[in-house]
Structure 1
Amino acid sequence: MPKRDSTVRGREFGAGVREALRKAGLTGRAAAELAGWDPAKLSDMLNGKGGVTEGDLHRLLGLCRTPLDETEHLVALFHETSQSGWLQVHGEKMPVELRTLHEHEATATEITYWCMNVVPAVLQLPDYMRALFLGAPNVPNKEIDKRVAARTARQQQLFQRRCPMTFYIHEYALRLPAGDGELMSDQLHHLNHMSNRTYIMNRVVPVSAGVHAGLAGVFTFMKFAKLEPIVYVDAENHGVFLDDKESAKAYLNILASLDRTALDVEQSRELITSIAS
């Protein structure tokens, strides 16, 4: 069955309206009845098919008693649902794209991460996170605890779902000291411990591989049951979500090359163990 074309903004808009209905304790049919709509009209709104106005959206969110800040967020998205890609710029405060990333990770059927310089965020211990944030000039100390808490919550969401996840990790990330030697040893043993879970697979790209496809940069590749894949690229003060087919194809090519270059699961485990010792 062909997968539906949709944008990252359109998906977040639909998810946001569904969450507003859930918090109001309303089913789609009940909400449509209260608004005086045919149920098909609400379905079209949720799936980004149009047929509704900004006034319609305000009416629905008013019935749900949605808070003002969330209403403003959804109204802004309503006017952008057809725009492909999404550059989200943030400053010193916790990245705003975390919401978008969380919502897509929460519905993905398979996720692949490529990390070149540090241990993947999803597999980081809290003390390792703090060591990284302390070394980041654009993260104020007052923000560190918030970021650690948010990243830990993100991890728990993924682990509870048991979503299949593959982590391609460059050997440099395993050897880069963060904190003291004991912390790094704990972090590396944690990588191996987590890989005992059936839905987590670690693949290390060794230094001996030399130049490799992953030099294009770190990214997250998410697949979905009924929707096209999405690529998330993280940078210093912004994140980029790519939802066009050409980008997905380009990053799939990178993953295929990393798959050929990386050590297998058992070899990766052995290398991680040797570095941790």
Structure 2
Amino acid sequence: MLGAELREARRRAGMKVGALLEVLGFSARWLSKLESGHRQTDARNVARLLGAYHVDSETFKRVMDLCRDVDGGYLIQGHGVGGADEVSAVRRHEAAARQLFSYEAVGVPALVQSEDYMRELFGRSVHLSADEVERCVAARKARQKVLNVGVPVKRTFVVRELTLRHLSGDREVAWGQLMHLFWLGNTRKVDVRVVGQDASFGYWDLYSFTLMRSPQFRPVVHIGATPYSLLFDEPRDTGFYEESARLLLANAMGVEESRAFIAHLAEHVGESVSA
């Protein structure tokens, strides 16, 4: 998290590692481990690095705030009106991931929601004005653009059959969401897996989470719970969610079976809409 910010700042500065280390006195191994999240450091060293990168004042403040927030591999970011969709740390890790696994215990994962479905969800909040609802929709659609990146990414989204049979909104909204899931699974490098109602359940299906892996960093887990986003990369904690992901996939329908189930359910809902 902090390491990703420092790595990006160095990249933007076009700073060669050799010249940087000669000035600051750090070793290449030290910097590599810091940027990959395998080493922590104090605020003084972070400030020295940012100064060497000649970052602007806004970037300096953001990264130093992040440095103060990170404690033992945890990062807590407060939500504004746009929720997790406007948390830059969440979006950066989703963009950096080369493997992304997302599960929602209730509802559809944010990255694969249709526009009408997300508008229905946001519109139900008594705390959001009409303008704020549209801001939330715009923020989520912007976040979903990560699905369009050209680099190879394995993305898996797990949703429960019970959720798909009882989607928020009217039948037209439900049909649109089902077709959106079907379309994503057919046209993008996205796997949608359905956990059937007859599947056995345990501790591993109780919590919504997103697990992200990338070559440069340790696995990162994001848990979005109003009014905060929690991100962490400590192996002792991410291991629980890696095991949960494994068990969810073991109990879910296969990719083709899930796709056929979604298509069948969409057809059934569509008939009700046109009737």
TM-score class normalised by the smaller sequence: 0.7 to 0.9
Contact 1:118 1:176 in 2 (8 A): no
Report the secondary structure of 2:186's partner residue: coil
Paired with 1:87 and 1:113, the residues of 2 have a C-alpha distance of: 19
Paired with 2:202 and 2:47, the residues of 1 have a C-alpha distance of: 52
Q: 2:167 maps to what in 1?
A: 177
Asked if residue 128 in structure 1 is aligned to residue 117 in structure 2, the reply is: yes
Q: Gapped runs of 5+ residues in structure 1?
A: 1-7
Asked if residue 217 in structure 1 is aligned to residue 203 in structure 2, the reply is: no
Report the secondary structure of 1:169's partner residue: strand
Report the secondary structure of 2:217's partner residue: coil
User: How far 1:40 moved relative to its partner?
Assistant: 5.8
Residues 84-99 of structure 1 mapped to structure 2, 5 A cutoff: 84-92=73-81, 94-95=83-84, 98-99=87-88
Q: If the length of structure 2 is used for normalisation, what is the TM-score?
A: 0.80
Cα distance change of structure 1 residues 172 and 136 upon mapping to structure 2, 3 Å threshold: farther
User: How far 1:205 moved relative to its partner?
Assistant: 0.5
Contact 2:205 2:248 in 1 (8 A): no
Paired with 2:112 and 2:16, the residues of 1 have a C-alpha distance of: 40
Query: One-letter code of the match for 1:13?
Result: E
Query: One-letter code of the match for 1:218?
Result: S
Q: 1:146 maps to what in 2?
A: 135
Cα distance change of structure 1 residues 151 and 91 upon mapping to structure 2, 3 Å threshold: closer
Percent of pairs with identical residues? 25
Q: 1:232 maps to what in 2?
A: 222
Asked if residue 73 in structure 1 is aligned to residue 62 in structure 2, the reply is: yes
Q: 2:235 maps to what in 1?
A: 245
Paired with 2:132 and 2:29, the residues of 1 have a C-alpha distance of: 39
Paired with 1:83 and 1:97, the residues of 2 have a C-alpha distance of: 24
User: How far 1:81 moved relative to its partner?
Assistant: 5.3
Q: Gapped runs of 5+ residues in structure 2?
A: 268-275
Query: One-letter code of the match for 2:125?
Result: A
User: How far 1:124 moved relative to its partner?
Assistant: 1.2
Higher mean C-alpha deviation, range 106-115 or range 82-91 = 82-91
Report the secondary structure of 2:77's partner residue: strand
Paired with 1:96 and 1:44, the residues of 2 have a C-alpha distance of: 33
Report the secondary structure of 1:273's partner residue: helix
Q: 1:264 maps to what in 2?
A: 254
Q: 1:13 maps to what in 2?
A: 5
Q: If the length of structure 1 is used for normalisation, what is the TM-score?
A: 0.80
Contact 2:72 2:234 in 1 (8 A): no
Paired residues, number: 260
Contact 2:108 2:163 in 1 (8 A): yes
User: How far 1:133 moved relative to its partner?
Assistant: 0.4
Cα distance change of structure 1 residues 244 and 54 upon mapping to structure 2, 3 Å threshold: closer
Contact 1:165 1:200 in 2 (8 A): yes
Q: 1:4 maps to what in 2?
A: none
Paired with 2:66 and 2:8, the residues of 1 have a C-alpha distance of: 10
Report the secondary structure of 1:208's partner residue: coil
User: How far 1:41 moved relative to its partner?
Assistant: 7.3
* Residue-by-residue CA offset, 1:145-169 (whole Å, 9 max, x unaligned): 2222221122112322442101111
User: How far 1:79 moved relative to its partner?
Assistant: 4.4
User: What is the CA RMSD across the aligned residues, in angstroms?
Assistant: 3.1
